[in-house]
């Protein structure tokens, strides 16, 4: 295992232990609302602080982009940037719904190079290093082999913070349902993407995501032989927060269903991603 990945795994497991302990006494947690349907608990913050400390103790010259604390670390040397979601699926966690995870990725000069997604409930550890494949608990994983969308299980995420594109999303959803074997929405985009890498889902699409939601999962899928793109199939997903993923055959079929529902605003966000 790559040394930087080893440190990320250590940080993810430590955060997972914090999350598991807190899950035993949810009623005692302090919770704040960041926005509509977007919550943060003291567990998110403690887990994030723990991850950042472990990473910066090992690599003090690296920079950080984390969901709760934003940018930190060495901003003067941004070649290495860790992208962290300490608890993806906070709403699930707060309700005792067992679908959430820790997500950590590393960018080197803008390229994803390391990825860890850790499910602390099932003790499933998804890892990837660029050029070395993707793994689940040390076993190699690959994206699914299905070629017909009608046989596929597809993951998605409903808009929950920003409802600007709700009509377009619902149109995509409406057209997707009869063309697939089923659609699932557990509520943790990072874990959904890990499931695509492992072949549990055959594909995935969502809008309105942040870099920490998708960075690790995207590398996992690419290293598992899959494809990742924005809603037009291009490479702006990290900037736009619009993502489609799957094996090469299913990826193209998802794009075909999505294409008729791309509004001018969605296209503008895809082609001129926010900085």
Q: What is the mean pLDDT of the chain?
A: 91
Residue 233, pLDDT above cutoff 80: yes
| Contact criterion met (CB below 8 Å) for 205 and 258 | yes
Based on DSSP, count helices (H) and strands (E) in the chain, helices before strands: 9, 15
Q: 3-23 and 42-58 helices cross at what angle (nearest 10)?
A: 160
Confidence category of residue 38, pLDDT binned at 50, 70, 90:
very low
Domain with residues 3-141, CATH architecture: 2-Layer Sandwich (3.30)
Q: Which CATH class is domain 149-271?
A: alpha beta
The helix or strand, by DSSP H or E, that contains position 178, with its residue range, turns out to be none
Structure tokens at 110: 């803008």
Number of alpha carbons in the 13 Å side-chain half-sphere of residue 32: 7
CA 122 centroid distance within chain: 17
pLDDT tens-digit series, residues 45-79: 899 999 999 999 999 999 999 987 778 766 666 79
Instruction: Write down the residue that tokens 């349902």 correspond to.
Output: 177
Domain range annotation of the chain? 3-141, 149-271
């Amino acid at each position: 295992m790559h040394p930087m990945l080893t440190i990320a795994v250590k940080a993810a497991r430590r955060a997972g232990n914090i999350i598991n302990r807190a899950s035993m006494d949810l009623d005692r947690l302090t919770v704040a609302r960041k926005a509509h349907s977007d919550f943060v608990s003291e567990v998110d913050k403690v887990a994030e602080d723990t991850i950042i400390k472990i990473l910066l103790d090992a690599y003090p010259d690296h920079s950080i982009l984390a969901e709760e604390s934003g940018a930190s670390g060495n901003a003067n040397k941004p070649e290495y940037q860790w992208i962290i979601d300490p608890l993806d699926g906070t709403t699930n966690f707060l309700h005792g719904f067992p679908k959430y995870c820790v997500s950590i990725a590393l960018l080197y000069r803008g390229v994803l190079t390391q990825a860890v997604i850790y499910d602390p409930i099932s003790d499933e550890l998804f890892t990837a290093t660029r050029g070395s494949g993707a793994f689940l608990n040390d076993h190699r994983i690959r994206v699914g082999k299905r070629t017909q969308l009608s046989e596929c299980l597809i993951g998605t995420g409903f808009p929950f913070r920003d409802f600007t594109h709700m009509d377009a999303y619902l149109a995509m959803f409406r057209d997707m349902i009869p063309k697939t074997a089923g659609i699932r929405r557990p509520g943790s985009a990072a874990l959904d993407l890990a499931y695509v890498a492992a072949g549990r889902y055959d594909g995935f699409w969502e809008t309105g995501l942040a870099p920490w939601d998708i960075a690790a999962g995207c590398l996992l899928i690419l290293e598992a032989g899959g494809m990742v793109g924005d809603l037009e199939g291009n490479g702006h997903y990290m900037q736009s927060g619009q993502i489609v993923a799957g094996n090469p055959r299913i990826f193209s079929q998802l794009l075909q269903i999505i294409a008729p529902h791309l509004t001018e605003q969605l296209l503008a966000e895809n082609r001129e991603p926010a900085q």
